[in-house]
């Protein structure tokens, strides 16, 4: 590893336990090695993943003004749409077909339930 100035270093893979992001528990790096060891119940080295660090920086407003606000909103909405699609199994066409089929069945039930009423009223 290349020696870095300052008290923090970058680690692609944590060398010490617990070997994951201190806050989220993810083992996916790269990480900031804080060189801080916690000796109590949750013993081990404190690592912070780049993803957690990025989220913290956004929450702290450190990226304010660096990216145009409309790009931030567009990226958010694109990510939200992708997540929604993924949560639906990624098969929006299948879901649309299932809803269309359900609507057709409901329409058929409605027509069938109205037919005897019409026949009874015309039979008098």
Concatenating the DSSP letter of every residue in 90-122 gives T-HHHHHHHHHHHHHHHHHHHHHHHHHHHHHHH
Cis ω for the linkage preceding 93 (within 30 of 0): no
Q: Are residues 62 and 1 in the same domain?
A: yes
Rounded Cα distance between 98 and 89, Å, is 13
Q: Three-class SS of residue 35?
A: strand
Least confident of 24-33, 34-43, 50-59, 79-88: 79-88
Q: In the predicted model, is pLDDT for residue 118 greater than 60?
A: no
Predicted local confidence at residue 75, as pLDDT: 82
Mean pLDDT of 48-59: 88
Question: Do residues 72 and 106 share a domain?
Answer: yes
Q: Do residues 88 and 82 make contact, with C-beta atoms less than 8 angstroms apart? A: no
**Structural domain range at position 82:** 68-124
Both 115 and 97 in one domain: the answer is: yes
**Domain endpoint, select from 34, 51, 66:** 66
Kindly state whether residues 38 and 75 are assigned to the same domain. Answer: no
pLDDT bin (cut points 50, 70, 90) of residue 28 is confident
């Amino acid at each position: 590893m290349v020696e870095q100035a300052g008290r923090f270093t970058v680690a692609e893979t944590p060398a010490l336990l617990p070997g994951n992001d201190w806050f989220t528990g993810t083992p996916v790096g790269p990480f900031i090695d804080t060189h801080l060891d916690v000796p109590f119940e949750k013993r081990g080295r404190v690592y912070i993943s780049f993803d957690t660090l990025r989220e913290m920086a956004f929450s702290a407003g450190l990226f304010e003004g660096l990216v145009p606000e409309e790009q931030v909103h567009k990226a958010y909405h694109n990510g939200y749409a992708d997540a929604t699609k993924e949560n639906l199994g990624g098969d929006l066409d299948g879901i649309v077909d299932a809803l269309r089929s359900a609507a057709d069945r409901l329409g058929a039930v409605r027509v069938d339930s109205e037919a005897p009423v019409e026949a009874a009223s015309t039979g008098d």
